[in-house]
Amino acid sequence: MSSTVPAIDASELAATQTAGYKVGAEISLAELAELDKEDESLAKWKASLGLDANAVASGSTAGPKVEMISLTLTSNRPAGPIVLDLKDPKQLASAAPVVIKEGSEYTVEIKFLVKSLVAGLKYIHVVKRMGLSDKLEHMIGSRGPSLDHVVAKLPTEEAPSGMLARGKYVVRSRVIDDDGAVYLDATWQFELKKDW
């Protein structure tokens, strides 16, 4: 593979859209908590999203609704999980590639903090090598504000194996919501090797 990193265009990271979906008007957590207070089933649904008095108090109106913390690759790696710090995604592009053993099973976990109600949060990534690309889109779901970190665990995957699969790959990861707000847009690399 050449020393240049293949670019991953933003259009390759486009999320699947639901036909007919229209973004609703933005309302505050306090207004949302007060809506239909007498409806018991709606109250249970709001509680499942964390929309109670504590959520209204902890909900932040400043900054992004979601703060990305880390992306973790968990596998049978002897040295333990690989943790990528997402607080400064620009530094990931220049960081040394993460080493992944060919044929190993791994799980991606994304840790984040929800500061305000967010609907339809999705993780999308495109992996590229020598002109070939693979796209993954995973629905994280809707979340209410919380002071606790949230960890979204993606399905376990198996790294490719064989001599032709070995080499450097570029990954562009993105976290967006149904409103189109982007909370993470980071490029990073991994290298598939025969061993850790």
Domain residue spans of the chain: 29-58, 60-193
pLDDT of 2-59, one tens digit each?
445 567 776 677 777 666 666 666 666 667 666 677 778 877 776 776 665 555 545 5
pLDDT digits (tens, 9 = 90+) for 165-183: 999 999 999 999 988 999 9
Considering the segment(s) 60-193 as one domain, its CATH architecture is Distorted Sandwich (2.70)
pLDDT of amino acid 110: 97
Rounded Cα gap, residues 183 and 196, in angstroms: 31
Question: How many CA atoms are closer than 13 Å to the CA of 183, on its beta-carbon side?
Answer: 27
SS3 47: helix
Q: Which residues contact 177 (CB under 8 A, 6 or more apart)?
A: 65, 66, 118, 119, 120, 121, 122, 183
The better pLDDT of the pair 137, 17 is held by 137
pTM confidence score: 0.76
Q: How far apart are CA 169 and CA 1, in angstroms?
A: 9
Q: Which residue has the tokens 């036909």?
A: 19
